[in-house]
Amino acid sequence: MCKYNVGIVGATGVVGRELLLLIEERNFPLKNLKLFASEKSIGKSIDFRERLYPIEVINRKSLAHCDFVFGCASNEIGKKTAEILKDFSSIFIDNSSAFRYEQNIPLVIPEINGHKIESGTRIIANPNCTAIILAVALWPIHKSFGIERVIVSTYQAVSGAGQEAMQELENQVVQYSKNEPLSINVFPEQILFNVQSHNSAVGENGFNGEEQKVIIEVKKIFSYPDLKISATCIRVPVLRAHVESVNIEVKEKCSVEEILDVLKNTSGVKIINDPANNDFPSSLKASYQNLVLVGRVRKDLSSSDCGFHLLIAGDQLRKGAALNALQIAENIIGLKSEVKVQGCLS
């Protein structure tokens, strides 16, 4: 089996570190590894497979000879990385939103549209975490019965805002237990014991940035620009794994049992749907899991025979970010799908 030179931009962040764990867990065919972060991390190193890898700053010399580069940083850093890599043959898989809306750049969830990765593709956009979790659960239903309308309300973990957000929640727990004032730096107000609107900027249409991403990206991933979809995104005091309450309307009449049967035979999905024991998807059940959990599938009593409710949960650091990016690379080298390349990358 060929082995590959891999670079991770933003290796010290929560997604970068999760990607390293998954490279180990999934035994990705790694030849050499290069880790990149901001200048403030220079001099630091990360332990991987009993070896210390120094943190580097991205430039032409440091990025040269990478087969795959994973972007786990900001839009600005993503664009800078892509600009450097345009002179190389590297494949750049970017987790930021910098390239998601560009028509000529594929926005990929391998289980749904891995075929969008064509020979010669050099930049691939990894979708928004909330959109990935939603799309993985809805795509098999859409393929079987056709979805006309989606209304989703999300309950998003703080890790979606990065390591500092996770630390802020943990700090507030300790401060509250000591009856100390709570430090507030990342979120606009206290996150402990609080549920608040997602902290992305609100646009002129009243939707915040996260909601806009879900709406636009699911349409692009499904190649379904006329999909009626609306979203409300909320932050909750949970460390990791997003939960989504979803209402859908399908074109073809079907039953709860038929939807469950479709989902049971879907790669990347796990059914947790036990009404008798009130056992359904939750953030804790989804944490550190690679599958998207689906349950509470039921008829929408306020709608026609084509309306249904679902509860979805997924670890946004895994399938919502690092895992999906790694699966894209696996698809390209033919490890996990029919998408193959001839020989090794240069």
Q: What integer pLDDT is reported at residue 336 of this predicted model?
A: 54
pLDDT recorded at residue 119:
86
Distance between CA atoms of 83 and 101, rounded to whole angstroms?
A: 17
Catalytic site residue 233? no
Tell me, what's the pLDDT at 305? Answer: 85
Question: How confident is the model at residue 2, as a pLDDT?
Answer: 92
All CATH 3.40.50.720 domain ranges in the chain, comma separated: 4-98+321-332
Active-site residue among 66, 72, 129, 233?
A: 129
Q: How much is the pLDDT for 304?
A: 76
CATH 3.30.360.10 occupies which residues in the chain? 131-315
Which pLDDT does position 338 carry in this prediction?
Answer: 36
131-315 under CATH 3.30.360.10, yes or no: yes
pLDDT of res. 90: 96
Annotated catalytic, 306?
no
Catalytic residue among 72, 242, 306, 309: 242
pTM over 0.85: yes
Domain 4-98+321-332 sits in CATH at 3.40.50.720
Q: How far apart are CA 147 and CA 145, in angstroms?
A: 7
pLDDT per residue as tens, the chain (346 positions): 799 999 999 999 999 999 999 999 999 999 999 999 999 998 999 999 999 999 999 999 999 999 999 999 999 999 999 999 999 999 999 999 999 999 999 999 999 999 999 988 999 999 999 999 999 999 999 999 999 999 999 999 999 999 999 999 999 999 999 999 999 999 999 999 999 999 999 999 999 999 999 999 999 999 999 999 999 999 999 999 999 999 999 999 999 999 999 999 999 999 999 999 999 999 999 999 999 999 999 999 998 789 999 999 999 999 999 999 999 999 999 875 433 333 344 3
